[in-house]
């Protein structure tokens, strides 16, 4: 069962929220959206409630996602809205945060939030019982309606340090707990929560092993250990994991790819593989190659995510690849440094990954073979 909030806020209907209740206006830059997911009981509602009640000086909106019949424990925080509005209910808190539940259209609800525009520092979107955050990514990342007003910042997955080892072993043995694996696979940040429940030396050793297992599923995720999800918000907000324009993200990608050597296995479970190829690539051929992998599904692989850096022919800029399911983009970043090895490095996260197929097909994008 999800950890409960000790001080749930009092609900205020949307029609009772006035302009005077909202924070003062700030610059008209896009508002970052962070998706929060996590298996039942991991503590994602604890993270949301901590943010809603903490005195952090940030103006943050939290959206509780209610697609279909996925309601969840957090309904207890907010009373039922009336009239079938897109945003059922708003909660305005003393620390500048607002909270709302979404009914029907997430896109229109986000537009309602940003149009109030006095304006928010960040938006958190908590998924409820949603195993695969990829559909939300496709809405938030490249949706034309939202491009100028919001931007996808990152995906956070909260996991239970005490129980994740059991979930991983049961998944390996019987295929149970697939949601926990999917959520880790799509994460940019994994919050390893409840470490206070790990006390003896054997468990502490197992905690390090657990971190290795998480990186075995998703080598590119940043792991943050917490008790009751008490985390420095600067560690989880404004990560700029999407869009390819963050130098910090680019440097992390280059550094992480050094830690992940190419693998020779064909893995039927959720795992990470990487390919490293020298020589410049033809950008048009790379786009066709990605479309074949992600759209045409001409192999048995189920690719959840792809990240990478490219040495593009006739360009001095590093190009970054970012893909989630069928949504992808390739964008230029900073220039290659003089002493830097110009090489293509791509990391794939998914199921039934086939290293030989990936390497052989990618060679067709090289300008020198």
Q: Find residue 65's DSSP bridge partners.
A: 102
The candidate with the shortest Cα–Cα distance to 123, out of 86, 145, 94, 156, is 156
Residue, of 308 and 270, whose pLDDT is higher: 308
- Specify which residues 62 forms β-bridges with: 99, 124
Q: What is the pLDDT of residue 255?
A: 66
Lowest mean pLDDT among 66-75, 134-143, 278-287: 66-75
Higher-pLDDT residue of 255, 360: 360
Q: List the single range of 199-208, 319-328, 341-350 with lowest mean pLDDT.
A: 199-208
Query: What does the alpha-carbon distance between residue 163 and residue 126 come to, in Å, rounded to a whole number?
Result: 21
Average pLDDT of the chain, as a whole number: 75
Q: Is residue 33 pLDDT above 80, yes or no? A: yes
The pLDDT assigned to 8 comes to 35
User: Which residue ranges does the chain devote to CATH 3.30.1220.10?
Assistant: 247-363
Is 320 within 8 Å of 309 (Cβ atoms)?
A: yes
Provide mean pLDDT across the span 160-166.
Answer: 83
Q: Which residue, 52, 43, 105, 113, is CA-closest to 77?
A: 52
pLDDT band at 189 (very low <50, low <70, confident <90, very high): very high
Q: pLDDT at position 236, please?
A: 92
Q: Where residue 335 falls among pLDDT bands split at 50, 70, 90?
A: very high
Lowest mean pLDDT among 46-60, 126-140, 217-231: 126-140
pLDDT at 156: 94
Question: What are the pLDDT digits (tens) for 79-131?
Answer: 333 333 445 556 666 676 777 666 556 777 777 777 765 678 888 888 765 55
- Provide the edge-to-edge strand list for the sheet that holds 344-354: 266-277, 344-354, 302-311, 317-324, 327-335
More confident call, 198 vs 340: 340
Pick the CATH number of 247-363 from 3.40.50.300, 3.40.50.880, 3.30.1220.10, 3.20.130.10: 3.30.1220.10
Which of 25-29, 208-212, 267-271, 272-276 shows the lowest per-residue confidence on average (mean pLDDT)?
A: 25-29
Q: Which of 89, 121, 122 is nearest to 17 (CA)?
A: 89
Question: Rounded distance, CA 38 to CA 125, Å?
Answer: 12
**pLDDT for residue 178:** 72
Tell me the average pLDDT across 181-193.
Answer: 91
**Beta strands 87-92 and 98-102: pairing type?**
antiparallel
pLDDT confidence band for 193 (50 / 70 / 90):
very high
Residues of the chain with CATH 3.40.50.300: 14-235
317-323 average pLDDT score: 92
CB-based burial label for 52 (10 Å; 0-12, 13-18, 19+): buried
What was the pLDDT predicted at 141? Answer: 79
CATH architecture of 14-235: 3-Layer(aba) Sandwich (3.40)
71 vs 52, more confident: 52
- Rounded to the nearest 10 degrees, how much is the dihedral formed by the CA atoms of 357, 360, 366, 367? -150
pLDDT band at 174 (very low <50, low <70, confident <90, very high): low
CA–CA separation, 327 and 303 (whole Å): 11
- Going from the C-alpha of 54 to that of each of 6, 47, 198, 231, the distances in angstroms are 12, 10, 25, 11
- Summarize the confidence of residues 302-310 as an average pLDDT: 91
Distance (Å, whole) CA 229 – CA 218:
21
The whole-number pLDDT of residue 17 equals 33
Predicted confidence (pLDDT) at residue 55 exceeds the cutoff of 50: yes
Confidence (pLDDT) at 7: 36
pLDDT at 146: 60
């Amino acid at each position: 069962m999800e950890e409960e909030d000790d001080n749930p806020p009092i609900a205020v209907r949307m029609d009772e929220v006035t302009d005077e209740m909202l924070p003062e206006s700030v610059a008209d830059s896009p508002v970052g959206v962070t998706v929060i997911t996590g298996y039942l009981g991991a503590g994602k509602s604890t993270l949301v409630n901590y943010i809603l009640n903490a005195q952090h000086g940030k103006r943050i909106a939290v959206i509780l996602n209610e697609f279909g019949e996925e309601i969840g424990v957090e309904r207890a925080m907010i009373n039922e809205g009336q009239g079938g509005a897109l945003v059922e209910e708003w909660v305005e808190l003393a620390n500048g945060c607002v909270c709302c539940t979404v009914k029907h259209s997430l896109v229109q609800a986000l537009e309602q939030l940003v149009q109030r525009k006095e304006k928010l520092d960040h938006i958190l979107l908590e998924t409820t019982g949603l195993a695969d955050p990829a559909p939300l990514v496709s809405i938030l990342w490249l949706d034309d309606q939202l491009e100028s007003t919001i931007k996808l910042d990152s995906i956070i997955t909260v996991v239970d340090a005490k129980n994740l080892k059991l979930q991983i072993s049961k998944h390996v043995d019987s295929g149970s707990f697939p949601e926990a694996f999917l959520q880790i696979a799509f994460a940019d940040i994994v919050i390893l929560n409840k470490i206070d429940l790990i006390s003896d030396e054997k468990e502490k050793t197992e905690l390090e092993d657990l971190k290795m297992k998480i990186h075995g599923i998703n080598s590119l995720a940043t792991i943050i250990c917490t008790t009751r999800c008490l985390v420095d918000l600067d560690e989880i907000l404004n990560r700029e994991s999407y869009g390819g324009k963050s130098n910090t993200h680019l440097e992390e990608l280059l550094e992480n790819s050094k830690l992940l050597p190419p693998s020779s296995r064909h893995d039927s479970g959720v795992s990470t593989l990487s390919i490293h190829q020298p020589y410049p690539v033809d950008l048009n051929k790379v786009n066709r190659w990605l479309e074949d992998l992600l759209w045409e599904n001409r192999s048995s692989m189920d690719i959840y995510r792809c990240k990478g850096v490219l040495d593009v022919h006739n360009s001095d800029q590093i190009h970054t690849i970012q893909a989630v399911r069928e949504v992808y983009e390739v964008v230029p970043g900073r220039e290659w440094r003089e002493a830097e090895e110009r090489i293509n490095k791509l990391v794939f996260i998914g199921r039934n990954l086939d290293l030989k197929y990936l390497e052989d097909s990618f060679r067709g994008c090289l300008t020198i073979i």
